[in-house]
Chains A and B, each alone.
Chain A
C-alpha cells in the first residue's frame, strides 16, 4: 500500500510545509494564551436573552466553552419584555440581551442593568406562511386579504412592535387603512416570536411576521417566506448590557466582548443576523 502522506510530502514544496508548521505552532500558542487568561473564568454565567437569539447564542456559548472550559453558561430565552419584567422582580442574571432598545431602556430606567449598553446585532422582518399556503399569500400586501388568519406577537413584544411599525409604514403605498385591515385578520397575539413561528409551523395560522433569523434549518421545510419590501421593513436593533449587581462581572464582560468580536459577529451572521460594524 502507498502511504498517502508520503505522497503529499512529495507534491508540497518543503518551504510551504515549514511555513505551515510554523503557522500551526503560532495558532496553538495563541490558543494557549487565551486559555491561560481564561483560567479564572469559571462558575455559572446566567444570560437573559431575547428568544430570537436562541440558536445563535446557544452556538456562541458552545464556542465560548472551548475557550473557557471552566465556565458554565445558562440561558433564559423569552420575550424581551418578559425578561425585563423578571429582572425587575429580582431574577438573578449577569447579562441581558434585548431585541429592541425600548426594553433595554426600561431596564436601565429601573436600574436593573448598567447604563452602558452596546448594540451588537440587527435583524429584519419577514412574513411566514405554512408550506402549503392555506391563505394563498403571494406578497406582503396580501396580509390584508379578508378572512386570512394572521398571528403576530403582542404590541409589548419587540417583534410585535416592529411588525406594527412595518404595517403602519406600508400605509403610504397600500392605503391609509392597510394596517387596520391587516389587524382585522389578527387571530392571536403571541407572547414571543417563537410562538408565532410555532403557530404558523403547525399551520394553525395562515401567516405571521417573524425575524429573518427565525427561519432556522429546522423549521424551513415547514414554511414559506415572503419578503417585506425594503421601504417598510424594520431593522430590529439588539442591545446587550451587564446586569446590575452581577457576581460574574468578568465572565459577563467576556461574553459581551465575544459577541461583539469579529468571530462572534461572524457566528451571529451565520444565523442570519446582521452584524454591527463599529
Chain B
C-alpha cells in the first residue's frame, strides 16, 4: 500500500534531476561547454558570493540564534517571526525590498550614494540578496543547536572563571557545532540557488553579478547546452556539499543533534 505513493513521490523528485543528466550525457563537447566564459565566470562568481554570504550570515546570524535560544524578552515573538519572513517572502518581493533599501534612491542607498557608494549592480548586491534569503536556514538550525546545549554546562564554565565570550566559543559553539554546520550548509546551498532577488537587485553582468542561476536563465534562450551543464553543476555542487557534511556528522556520530 505504501509502496505506490513512495515510488511516485521518489520518481517525481528524482526524474527531473535525472532528465538533465540524460539530456547532457549523449552530447559531445561537454568539456568545451564547461570551459565557456559564461559557465566558468558564473561558477566562480557563485562560489565566491555564496561563501561570502555564508560568512556574513554566520557572523550576524549566530548572535541572533543564540539570543532566540537563550533569552526571553518583550518583542522576542516579533524577532522570531521576522527571522522566518525571508523564507515565506517571494524572492521578487525580496528584490524589490532590497532595491527600496539599498538602491540609489532607497532608504539607506541614497545616503550611501552621497558618500560615493553604490550597491546595486555590484557583487556586494549579490551577496546581500543571497544573505537575505538564506540567513533563516542558518539561524533556525543554530537556534535549535544552542537550545540543545545544556545551560548548566555554561554556568559551570562561568564558575570556573570563563568569560561569557570564552564560554560561548569554547563550550557552547563546540557542543552546537553539528547544528551550526548543517544549518550553514543549508544556507550556503540556498544562497547558491538564489535567483529572483539577485536579478532584480543586482542586475545581470557576466563576472560581476551573473551567478549560475542567472546564467542558466540567460542561456536557456541562447545556448541550451550551457544551460544544461550549469543546471547539472547546480545539482552536483550542493548535493556534494550536503552529502559531505552529513557524512562528516555521521562519522562523528552526532547526526542526531543536527
Contacts and interface: CB of A to CB of B under 8 A. Distances in A.
Interface of A: 79, 81-82, 84-85, 134, 149, 151, 154, 156, 186-191, 199, 202-205
B36 to A, nearest CB: 15
A154 B103 contact: no
A77 to B, nearest CB: 15
Nearest to B105: A203
Contact of A204 (B120, B204, B205, B208): B120
A131 to B, nearest CB: 11
B222 interface: yes
Interface string B220-233: 11100000000000
Interface of B: 99, 103-105, 118, 120-121, 199, 203-206, 208-209, 217-218, 220-222
A204 B218 contact: no
B221 A82 contact: yes
Contact of A187 (B103, B105, B121): B121
B221 A81 contact: yes
Nearest to A103: B221
B105 A151 contact: no
- Most chain A CB within 10 A, of B104, B203, B206, B217, is at B203
A81 B219 CA distance: 11
Contacts of B121: 149, 187-188, 204-205
A186 B203 CA distance: 11
Nearest to B224: A85
- Most chain A CB within 10 A, of B199, B220, B221, B222, is at B221
A82 B218 CA distance: 9
Contact of A154 (B105, B120, B218): B218
Contact of A186 (B120, B205, B221, B222): B205
